[in-house]
Amino acid sequence: MVSPPLSDKVLVVIGGTTGLGLSAARAFLAAGARGVVVTGRDAANAALAASTLGPACVACPGDAREPAHAEEAIALARKNFGDFHGLYHVAGGSGRRMGDGPLHEMTDDGLRATLELNLHSVMLSNRAAVRQFLAQKTGGAILNLGSVLGWSPSPEYFSTHAYAAAKAAMIGFTRATAAYYAKHDIRINVLAPALVETPMARRAAADATILKFIATKQPLDGGRIGRSEDCDGAAVFFLSDAARYVTGQMLAVDGGWTVSEGQIPPSPSPVN
């Protein structure tokens, strides 16, 4: 009998109490994970997520921007499940309400807050995971959630430049650290979705003009917004032993965003 891909793994999902992170945590458990720790800023959401996912899931409320947060989550994983094999960093979000936007409109506070949320938090969680892997002398896997906006911009509809910069920097950071720690069997990769229907995407998901754009920019499966579960299979792969020979890579799960113009309506199907 073939073992499930994440059989006996103990994983931490930073930002795992809603949206993409919660969906991934559910998929990890379904794929055989022994235990999953989910973290999030809202203590009530964290408790609800853990209770929904069952006894193999433990919540760790806290802010990913705090240096000790990921360390606490990893310690909790080891305490409750006896090990630590991988980290998935999902926490982040749009800085639009904090003052991010086109460069000439961006506020100082918006720039600072957006980078702290989307880049600094990633560096902090990755540092905590690497330190633990080195202490264990076991190797391990890290997956960071990026965005296609890190290299494939949409100037008309998604012009948050600090957010795009943070996601681009995440790719460079991931590749640099992957190169450095490969000799320790620590694998670090990026998963980059396009527009996915999550709490962060409410503004876009409710905008008829953006939905019309998405119909041609993300043309797969009828030209729809992505769903959280669209990314789950790739996340399971990267954190499993099936990806033991993969590091420093970036995978777009984007419905066709990066290969589509997004302005031209699809042609009618050819008549045979």
Indicate if 163 belongs to the active site: yes
> Which of 157, 163, 181, 245 is an active site residue?
163
Query: Taking CA 192 as the corner, what is the angle to CA 175 and CA 149, rounded to the nearest 5 degrees?
Result: 95
Closest CA to 144 of 231, 57, 66: 231
> Do strands 10-14 and 250-253 pair parallel, antiparallel, or not at all (unpaired)?
unpaired
Alpha carbons 198 and 15: distance in angstroms, whole number: 12
Q: Which two tokens stand for residue 149?
A: 């906006």
Element (H, E) at 70: helix 67-81
CA distance to 66, 112, 156, per residue, from 201 (Å)? 24, 21, 16
Q: Which residues are catalytic?
A: 163
